A and B are shown apart, each in its own frame.
Chain A
């Protein structure tokens, strides 16, 4: 599942970041690498961008960018 589909406040882990997009490196440099814990905090009032918490800091990104991040949900 990709990050834009993760429900609010569900803990997830980054599985991969699509390497094709120009912004994927930027995301990874900012710590969005496979294994990093990530949680969607909320969606902006107009539906985009989304606010996520990754490695205990907060990041806003647009849905289009969140689509390139594949995650697995923590089911424990």
Chain B
């Protein structure tokens, strides 16, 4: 089968237009953790493009590699890591199809550079020999060569190269050692390019018969062991390596979980509090911009669009950047150092209870700060169904945007109350919200893994890579790539939706009467807008949840972001749009009366609203990032839908059940 439709990605067409026809296409293949990313970054610098392969969630990375002055830069494709050409996952299928020239309408590579980890030769050579067997030009880049040298592992690269029949170039990407030699070897290999093996033949290699595959596999390993033992002087003193000694502490029965807790607390603290300053700064800058637009431009609809729609929308998009940068700063360090695999090792048993992989732990925990970077972090989960399941439950983690909603409700209806005389009711309710979110996530994940995302459990065979000092270059690349992706792919969607939501509140226009103050005008505008009318329309539907049409407006407008409901309610209740001073809003909520004189808001309404906000996907940024990460509108639509149903049902049960139990 061909996993790849029509074109590779737009980066492919961009580059082929820019470069002359004779420029080479080179594929970079190799085992996961073999140092492929570092080499790719060293060869291409910042001239990289990241996109999705069409129709699938697999990311394609390519960049320009200046081989030599006399040649046009080559296009270097960084393939997903793979252990063999017998693919078991979608990532691997794509890599294999490109390598075997089977991907339709994709340029098959002129030369394949196989990254081989010198400290783990036998296993890495498995893929390399499979590729050599396809008879396409192959060059081996021997990474971690400095490490092998340090551990007294003597590799006779000439001998190894003769035995394999392909050039071998030792490289140290971080110090840029061996890169020029690699270029020369690739150029030479491209010129010696012989007839390519027809795809039919390579199909024949992938045997269906399990037993024959096994015996072929054993033979290949025997062959590799023979040539490696000829060319390598092993230093096997049997002593556990440095990594294993570090693991004694890091995955220790008691210290392991403790260290994980400290690491996650640090990450959490960083996304939660260290980003407040830059986020507030962005907020202030854009508020000032918006105000200055109002002051300098004539009052009117265009100015409103600019000030409240566009500038506020751009500010809303940029406000996510600090959190995304902070989370990916930590994630790339955790990945690069090898700790991420240990975190998955420690938590796998826990996550398996809900049918998920250990690698889902960090993204889910990060979602307590904000689901947007959390969902972006699910990229480390290879199995696509596990990844989708993780994405689908990430928004149930109570994020920081829910806190203003919780605290408003608690300030209005539960302030000063104590349970058993000591514990603050408000604190208990907030804790309950966090726990309820986790419980719902667990239930939803188990149901999804048994139904729509049902699949045979993928093997949990995960390499525990040696610990390394994180490479600053890789960290910077990761930050750069993730923020570009967010701004380009998700940012545009978020901006679009925020302009749409602005229009719902801004139209139709209500003319201000002479003498009315600005606050009254704003309030009347919102009440009469499309959103205000929609609030009335949905009132019968949300009435069983204890909500009136004013809350309905809040629900609609807070699809932009959960905390928006506070400013909307402030405007609707005519207490001014000030999120700083909540006391007037709290009073307004307490004093609001229905036509019959009964209070609109009761503690039960507050609780019902909190549960609704916990469970509903009231966040367009989450929707936008799910769209980008799953590469379809199907999953985000499903997510909004099922979360809305859940939220409705839970609020209904809370409000109606509370009434039956005699609560107000």
Contacts and interface: CB of A to CB of B under 8 A. Distances in A.
Contact of B463 (A22, A36, A45, A57): A57
Interface in A11-33: 17, 19-20, 22-31, 33
A26 B252 CA distance: 28
Interface residues of B, number: 45
Nearest to B238: A11
Given A30-B123, A45-B257, A53-B244, A25 B210 contact: yes
Interface stretch (B295-303, B340-348, B604-612): B340-348
Interface string B346-365: 10111010000010000000
A67 interface: no
Given A25-B210, A49-B349, A60-B460, A55 B84 contact: no
B213 interface: yes
B247 A60 contact: no
B645 interface: no
B126 interface: yes
A7 interface: no
A28 B459 CA distance: 12
Contact of A51 (B217, B236, B464): B464
Contacts of A57: 119-120, 123, 463, 466
A62 B346 CA distance: 12
Interface in B447-498: 456, 458-466
B86 interface: yes
A25 B86 contact: yes
A12 B211 CA distance: 24
Interface string B230-271: 000000100000011001000111101100000000000000
Contacts of A20: 210
B217 A45 contact: no
Interface in B79-103: 83-84, 86, 88
Interface string B320-358: 000000000000000000000100111011101000001
B237 to A, nearest CB: 11
A73 interface: no
B122 interface: yes
A19 B214 CA distance: 8
A51 B251 contact: yes
A28 B221 CA distance: 9
B481 to A, nearest CB: 27
Interface string A49-76: 1010101111111100100000000000
Contacts of A47: 349
Interface in B343-389: 344-346, 348-350, 352, 358
B123 A48 contact: no
Nearest to A53: B244
A59 B463 contact: yes
Contacts of A34: 218
A22 B456 CA distance: 9
Given A23-B461, A65-B459, A28 B243 contact: no
Given A26-B461, A30-B123, A55-B120, A45 B86 contact: no
B145 to A, nearest CB: 16
Contact of A46 (B122, B349, B463, B464): B349
Given A26-B83, A31-B122, A59 B459 contact: no
A27 to B, nearest CB: 6
A65 B257 CA distance: 24
A55 B214 contact: no
B346 A45 contact: yes
A44 B252 CA distance: 8
A29 B86 contact: yes
A6 interface: no
Contacts of A61: 459-462
A45 B210 CA distance: 35
A35 to B, nearest CB: 8
Contact of A28 (B120, B214, B346): B214
Given A34-B218, A60-B462, A29 B126 contact: yes
Contacts of A65: 459-461
B456 A55 contact: no
Contacts of A62: 348, 352, 459-460
A66 to B, nearest CB: 10
Contacts of A22: 88, 456, 459
Contacts of B126: 29, 31
B459 A58 contact: no
A28 B252 CA distance: 28
Nearest to A50: B345
Given A55-B122, A58-B464, A45 B247 contact: no
Contacts of A24: 214
Nearest to A16: B214
A24 B215 CA distance: 12
A41 to B, nearest CB: 6
A62 B502 CA distance: 51
A42 to B, nearest CB: 7
Contacts of B462: 59-61
A37 B252 CA distance: 24
Given A26-B459, A45-B252, A55-B123, 7 more contacts: A23-B461, A26-B83, A26-B461, A28-B221, A42-B251, A56-B119, A62-B348
Interface of A: 17, 19-20, 22-31, 33-34, 36, 41-42, 44-49, 51, 53, 55-62, 65
Which 9 interchain pairs have the tightest Cβ spacing?
A: A23-B459, A46-B349, A58-B464, A31-B123, A29-B84, A62-B460, A33-B221, A60-B462, A60-B345
7 contacts: A25-B213, A44-B345, A44-B348, A47-B349, A58-B247, A59-B461, A61-B460
